[in-house]
Every structure is written in structure tokens, then in C-alpha cells.
Amino acid sequence: MIGPVEIDRWGQAGMSALRAQDFVTARECFEAIVAAGGADAAVWLALSMACKGAGDRAAELAAVTQLLDRDPDNIRANLIKADALLHLGSKRAAMGFYQHVETLVPDLADVPTPIATELQRARQDHARLKQEMDAHLQRALAAAGFNPATSSRRFSDSLDLLSGRKQRYVSTPRAYFFPELPVIEFFDRQRFDWLEALEAATDDICEELVPILADGRHFSPYIEVEAEKSAHVAGSSRGNGVSAPEDWTAAYLIRDGKVCEPLASQCPKTMAALANVPLETIQGRAPFALFSRLTPGAWIMPHTGFLNTRLVCHLPLLVPDGCWFRVGNQVRLWERGRAWVFDDTIEHEARNQGTGTRVVLIFNIWHPDLTAEERELVAALMTGVDQFEQVSNAGRLGFQ
């Protein structure tokens, strides 16, 4: 029976041999510990280093795998395994371990310089592997007839996600999630036959907007509106971040399902254009329609909306140069009179880097993939959520 004293002696001898770069002796000492059943994480790590020094990369890989079975997030072990796999020609497997190391240490400033240097080298190796793989896949796909300009956009997106050129975004509503709805950043215009008629009214809407902007009294910080909503909606978090509340203001034509006077009466052509749109309808909540004003330099920080049962439409009215909007991976420039429909439960942000004021007409519509019954049930559910507090308060008042 080999006891701890003998195991400790082998360990000390192995480390001395390792420091002296006598890798054969070091390997023999550590393998003796393994055979005696005394190997811990440190022994497996030392054995992998001895095997590498001895030129046996396969044995190095086997030893470090034993360590990772015991400590999957060991940074050094993951790095050793990635390097060993790369040396043995297993490029795809090596990429997985390099990626895990980057996940474990996202910021190299958080680690000591010697380790950071090694991790930076590993990141360069990983980047090179990704470039090699991407080039290989592009050649293979070209041979199969793939053309990024004409082939399936969805397939092109999948390729960008695989290569890391794009990030995967999902629907993350802050209040209510309806399952099995597709996660689409910007929806295909062809799905909305009312868009062209709305866009055709752009000049009329802008004509009504000009005196409202000059007056200014109808605009108030949008961030305050969001704060009111988040206070009583289950599952919500902070309101939408903006550089300053006065930088992002709203003038409501319809709010919480009610027409806002006198502004609506000042905009008859705008209201007529909205009458042909399938607006979301929920008692006490929707529809809503507003002029959204963003001042020069303003930034609406990344955020998500409340419900994925609705989509949001923007009709750009005043668009100076330097204004952009991002939903998920897609960044677009607003173009006067060119509307789009997007899912606001996907992370999105907006910025006005121009010198003039940006104004967009914004409203919500039902998600087109909801059935008529589902729309009615969602509306009833949201109304019930709003009524719950009222009913509860009324009950408490009755017992006072």
C-alpha cells in the first residue's frame, strides 16, 4: 500500500524534474501518483505539462481532460486543451475551448500581465481559426451556388451568426411573452398592405406637425410615460434609458386607447391616415400614436419593449443626417416617408448624431401572426391585469 508520504515524495521529485525540464522523469513521477490513486487537479495539470515537454501531445490531452472533468472552468486547463487539440489537427474542437476561455475571461484587464499575454495569444489563434473556417465555408458554399446578394437572407444571417459576425438576439419582453411567435427584427413590408397609403400621407402629416413643433406645449419627456407604465406592469424593469429626459419627448395623438385633445383635432389628416391602420386595441392601454422628437446628440440607449404580441411602426417625418436606429443586428438610417415595422422586444436603440431635430410618427399594431381569438384573449388578459389593482383596492376600502 503506497501512502501519502511516498506520494508526496513523488510529487516533489516530479516538480523538481519539471522545473529542470527533465520531462521524462517528471512524467514518470506523476504517472506513479496516478497509478497509486493519489492524483488531484494539480497532479493532472503537472502531468499534462510534462507530457507536452516530452513531445507526447496526445498524452498531454488525456491528462488535461482528466483535470477538466474535475474542474470544467479551469482557465489554464481549457487553454492547454485548446492548444493540444490545435496541435493534433482538431481545429473545430480547439475553437470550442478557446471560446470557453474567452467566456471565462471576457476582459484581459482583470488578469495579471503574464496570463493576459498568454490569453491574448490564444485569442489571436482563435481569431485565425475562425477566419480559416469562414474562408473554407465560403468556398464550399460558393461551389454549391450560394451568392450573398441573391441567396436566402435568412441563410446569410445564419452564416453570420455561425461565424460570429453577428450576435443572436431573442425576444425579451419586459412584461408579457406570447410563445411561438417568430423573432424578426424588421418585418417584410409586403406583410402590411396599408404601409404605402400611410407613407403617401407623409407631406400632409408633416404640414400638421410644423405648427405643433413651433408651439412645443404638446411635447413632454417620453421617459416619464415609461416610468408610469413600469410602476404597475408585472415583470417590468427600468424605463428606457436616454441621455437626458428632455432629449426624447412625445406628443400624443392617441394614448391608452383614448384620443388626445386638442392635439388630435389639430391633426385631422394624420388621424385619417391612422384610421386605415390595424392598431393594437386593449382597453385602457391601446391604441397609442405619437410624434416622437429626438434632439441633436440624443441617444436612446439599448432596451426592450413590454409585450411581444404587438409590433411597432415608425414613419419618419423630420430626419436630419446622422440619425440611425438599431434593432438586434440591423442598423438602419431613417428616410423621410419610408416606414418600417419592427419587434421592439428585441434589443433596440436610436441616436441622433445630426444637427437637427428628428421626429417620427410611432404607433403599435397587433402582431400579424396572432389569430383573432388570440388578440381578444391577450386584450382581456392585459385589461384583467390593470383591473386587478383596482378590484383589490376597492375590496380593502370596503373593510375599512
For residues 207 and 234, give the distance between their C-alpha atoms in angstroms, rounded to a whole number: 40
Judged against a pLDDT cut of 90, whether residue 387 lies above it is answered with: no
Q: What span, in angstroms and rounded, lies between the C-alpha atoms of 32 and 165?
A: 48
Confidence category of residue 246, pLDDT binned at 50, 70, 90 = confident
Strands (E), the chain: 220-221, 248-255, 258-259, 289-294, 299-303, 310-318, 323-327, 330-333, 340-342, 348-352, 358-366
Query: Given pLDDT bands bounded at 50, 70 and 90, which one contains residue 396?
Result: very low
Quick check: 316 and 360 in contact, CB under 8 A?
yes
269 SS3 class:
helix
| Amino acid 337: pLDDT | 97
Summarize the confidence of residues 306-321 as an average pLDDT.
96
CB-based contacts of 351, cutoff 8 Å, min separation 6: 298, 299, 300, 323, 324
pLDDT greater than 60 at residue 148: yes
More confident residue, 147 or 114: 147
Phi/psi for 307 (5° steps) reads -130, 135
pTM score: 0.77
Q: Is the pLDDT of residue 233 over 90?
A: no
User: Given the C-alpha cell 388570440, which residue does it identify?
Assistant: 374
- pLDDT at residue 370 in the model: 96
d(CA 396, CA 57): 74
Residue where the block lists cell 438599431: 326
What is the per-residue pLDDT across 159-209, written as a single tens digit (0 to 9) for each?
Answer: 999 888 899 999 999 999 999 999 999 999 999 999 999 999 999 999 999
- Structural domains of the chain in order of their starting residue, each with its CATH number: 4-133 (1.25.40.10), 189-388 (2.60.120.330)
- Please check the confidence at residue 38 and state whether its pLDDT lies above 80: yes
In degrees and rounded to multiples of 5, residue 47 shows phi and psi of -65, -40
User: What value does the mean pLDDT take over residues 151-160?
Assistant: 91
Instruction: State which H helix or E strand residue 177 sits in.
Output: none
Is pLDDT at 400 greater than 70 in this prediction?
Answer: no
Phi, psi dihedral angles at 383 (to 5 degrees) = -65, -40
Q: Name the pLDDT band for 275 (thresholds 50, 70, 90).
A: very high
Percent of the chain past pLDDT 70, that is, above it, reads 91
Q: What pLDDT is stored for residue 393 in this prediction?
A: 56
pLDDT at 231 over 60: no
Mean pLDDT of the chain: 90
Q: Is the pLDDT of residue 237 over 50?
A: no
Q: In the prediction, which pLDDT does 376 show?
A: 95
Q: What is the mean pLDDT of residues 201-223?
A: 93
Q: How far is CA 399 from the centre of its chain?
A: 48
Residue 378 DSSP symbol = H
Q: Could you tell me the pLDDT band of residue 397, with boundaries at 50, 70 and 90? A: very low
Give me the pLDDT at residue 238, please: 36
Note every long-range contact of 10-16, with CB atoms under 8 Å and residues 24 or more positions apart, other chains counting: 10/36, 11/43, 14/46, 14/50, 15/46
In one letter, which amino acid is 131? Q
pLDDT at 226 over 80: no
